[in-house]
A and B are shown apart, each in its own frame.
Chain A
Amino acid sequence: MTTIPYKSYLEPQGKYTGLLDWLTSTDHKRIGLMYMYAIGIFFIIGVLLGLLMRIELFKPGETIMGPQTYNGIFTVHGVIMIFMVVIPGLSAVFGNLFMPIQIGAKDVAFPKLNLLSWYIFMAGAILAVLSQFTGNGPPDTGWTFYAPYSTQTGTNVLMAVTAAFVLGFSSILTGLNFIVTIHRMRAPGMTWFKMPLFPWALYSTAWIQLLATPIVGITLLMLIAERVFKIGFFDPALGGDPILFQHLFWIYSHPAVYVMILPAMGVITEIIPTFCQRRIFGYKAIALSSIAIAGVGYLVWGHHMYTSGMSFTARWIFSFLTFIVAVPSAIKVFNWVATMYKGSIALKTPFLYALAFIFLFMIGGLTGLSLGSLATDVYVHDTAYVVAHFHYIIFGGMGFAFFAALHYWFPKMYGKMYNQKIADIAWLILFFGFNMLYFPQFVLGLQGLPRRYYDYMPQFETGEVLSTIGGFVLFIGIIMMITNLIIAARNGPQAPDNPWGGKTLEWTIPSPPPMENFDTPPVVSKEPYDYE
C-alpha cells in the first residue's frame, strides 16, 4: 500500500463528470477498460447467438428457426466474434491497460489517436449491429464473405462489409500506436531484451495489424465497388476470378489468427513465471519466436485454399510453409513447460487458466497439423473438424488467455480481489463445458459432416447432442465467472499492490494505478523476470 494518498485512474478526474469523463479521456488504462466493456457486451451477444445455433442443431430438421435465420445467425456470430471480440480482444484491452506500464511509460505514444481508435471501433461495431436489423435481412455469407455469393445475395452484406472495413481501420491505428510506443517510450535502461514478453508479443501483433489489415481493407472496398458499380472484380460473369478474392481475403485473415493468438501467448508467458516464482525459461527464444510467427505467418494463407482449385505448385509451397510456422509455436510450449520445472508453483486461478490454455492450445495446434497437410486437409477441409480446430485455437487459446489475463490483472485494474474459490469452480465448469462442446466436432468432422450445415443426417445426432449440452455447460461457466468478477469489482475486498508476487513494473505501482502510472519515471537495470 502506498502511504501518500493518490487518485486512481478509476476516480473522476475533474473537468467532466460521469460517463463524459471517460468518453473524453485519453488515458490508456481507461481506454483499455472501455474496450473491455464494449467487447464484453459483444462477446455475450456472440455467445447467445452461438447457443441459438446449438439449440437449432440439437436435433435434425427444423428445431427453432428456419435456414435463412440460421445462416444469418452463424454469419453474425462469426463477424462479431472475429472482428469485434478476438481481433481487438487482448491487444486493445490488456495491451492498452498494461503495455505502457510494463515498459515504464506514462501513456501510449499518441493518446488522442488511441481514443480515436476506440471511437472508430465503436462506429464499426454499431454498423455491424445495424446490419442485422436494416436492409434486406442480416447478411448470410458467413464471416468470410466469399465471392461471388457475397456479390449476389440480396441480404445486407454491404453494411456488414463496411463495418468490417471500419473495424480494420481501428485495428491499424492501434497497431501503429503500439509500435511507436514500444520503439520510443521504453523506460531508460529497458533495452529490447529487458522488455517483458507481453509487450514483445504485442509488438509482433502490431506489425501484423499494420501490414495485413490494409489488404483486407482494399478487398472489402473492391467488394463494395463490385456490388455498387458492377465492376466485376470477382464475378466470373464479368471476367473476375472468385479465387482471387479468397487469396486477398486470406492474405489478411490468416495473419489475423496471429493477431489473436500472439498476445494470448504473451499473457501466458507473463503468468507462468509469476506463479512458478521462477525466471522464464528461454526468454530470447520466446521473444524471437513471436517475431518468427508474425513473419512466416504472412506467407501461409494458402492453406485455407487447398481445395479451392489453386495450382498444385502453390498448394505444396503453402503446405510446406505452414508446417514451418508450427515450429515456433512448439518452441513456446516447450519453454512454458520448462519454466515450471523446479519452480515453486501456486495453483491460483490465473495459473489454472494458463494451464487450460496450454492444453487446449496444444489440441488446437496439433489438429492444425492435419489441416496443414495436403492429403488430410482434403478430407477434413470445411467440415466440423475445422470448426473444432479453430474454436480450440480461438476460444480455447485466445479466449482462455483472455480469462487468464482478466483474473491475473483484475486486482491491479480495480484494486479489488475476487472470490478465488468461485473463480476456480467457474474455471472447472468452463473447461469441461468447452471440451464437451467442441471435442465432438472433431469426430463429426471425421465422419464427414460439412460445416455451416443447418440440417444433418441422423448418424451425426449423438455428437451434435453432446455438443449442445456442452454449450450450455460452458454458458453456465461464463455466467458464473463474469458474475463473480462483477461482484468483486463492486464490493470485493481491497487487493494488495502485488497479490501474486509478480516482477514486472505494473506490480510496483499501487492498485488501481494512479493516472500518471509512475510517480517518478522508472529506471530499469534488471531483466524482467528476475526472481533471484
Chain B
Amino acid sequence: MSNHKAEHQHITDYWVYGLILVILLALTFITVYMVHLELAAWSVAIALGIASVKATIVLAYFMHLKFDNMLFKILVVAVVMLFVSFILLTFADYLYR
C-alpha cells in the first residue's frame, strides 16, 4: 500500500487561472457572435467544436489533468471515446432509417 502523502504537488499560479478565464470568456463570446453569422450547416459543428475546446481547457487547467497522474488522462479519454461510440452506434440507426 503506497502512501502518497508526500506526493509532489503542482501549484498553479493565480495569473494562470486568470488567463484561462480570459480565454474561456473570449471563446464564449465568439460562439454567441457566430450565431448571427448565418453559417447554417457549419454553425452547429463550430459551436460544438468551440465547446469542446473550452471543455478541454477546463479539464486540463481547472481540473488539473495536465499536471495529474497519467491514469486520469487515459481514463478521461477512454470515457469520452465510449460516449462517442454510443453516439455513433445510435446514429447508425437514426441516420439510415
Contact = CB atoms under 8 A, between A and B. Distances in A.
A and B touch in the complex (CB under 8 A): yes
B90 A105 contact: no
Contacts of B94: 311
A56 to B, nearest CB: 37
Contact of B89 (A184, A187, A317): A317
Contacts, number: 43
Interface string B73-97: 0000001001001100110111111
A295 to B, nearest CB: 9
Interface string A183-201: 1110110000000000000
A521 B1 CA distance: 9
Given A185-B1, A521-B1, A311 B93 contact: yes
A302 B94 CA distance: 13
B86 A310 contact: no
Interface string A316-337: 0110000000000000000000
Contacts of B82: 211, 298
A6 interface: no
Interface string A290-317: 0000000011011000000011111001
A247 interface: yes
Contacts of B97: 310-311
B17 to A, nearest CB: 28
Nearest to A312: B96
A266 to B, nearest CB: 22
Nearest to B92: A314
B1 A311 contact: no
Interface string A232-255: 000000000001000100010000
Interface SS of B by simple majority: helix
B85 A314 contact: no
A54 B33 CA distance: 66
B1 A188 contact: yes
Contacts of A105: 1
B79 to A, nearest CB: 7
A243 B97 CA distance: 12
A211 B79 CA distance: 8
A249 to B, nearest CB: 12
A313 B1 contact: no
A313 B92 contact: yes
A311 B96 contact: yes
A301 B82 CA distance: 13
Interface residues of B, number: 15
A530 to B, nearest CB: 23
A247 B95 contact: no
Interface string A4-39: 000000000000000000000000000000000000
Nearest to B94: A311
Contacts of A311: 92-97
Contact of A247 (B2, B85, B93): B93
Given A105-B1, A188-B1, A521-B1, A318 B89 contact: yes
Nearest to A105: B1
- Centre residue among A301, A310, A314 by max chain B CB count within 10 A: A314
Interface in B2-54: 2
Contacts of B71: 183
- Centre residue among B2, B79, B93, B94 by max chain A CB count within 10 A: B93
A313 B96 contact: yes
A310 B97 CA distance: 7
Nearest to B2: A184
B93 A310 contact: yes
A299 B89 contact: yes
A312 B94 CA distance: 10
Contact of B93 (A183, A211, A298, A302): A302
Nearest to B93: A314
Given A185-B1, A188-B1, A521-B1, A317 B92 contact: yes
Nearest to B85: A299
A211 B83 CA distance: 9
A368 to B, nearest CB: 19
Nearest to A309: B97
B83 to A, nearest CB: 9
Contacts of A312: 96
A184 B7 CA distance: 15
A302 B91 CA distance: 12
Contacts of B2: 184
A215 B89 CA distance: 15
A251 B82 CA distance: 11
Contacts of A247: 90, 93
Contacts of B89: 299, 301-302, 314, 317-318
Contacts of A301: 89
A314 B1 contact: no
Given A298-B85, A299-B89, A311-B92, 9 more contacts: A183-B71, A184-B1, A185-B1, A211-B79, A243-B93, A298-B82, A302-B93, A313-B95, A317-B92
11 contacts: A185-B1, A187-B1, A188-B1, A310-B93, A313-B95, A313-B96, A314-B89, A317-B89, A317-B92, A318-B89, A521-B1
Please give me the 10 A-B residue pairs with the lowest Cβ-Cβ distance, nearest first: A311-B96, A314-B93, A313-B96, A314-B92, A310-B93, A311-B97, A311-B93, A317-B92, A313-B92, A247-B90
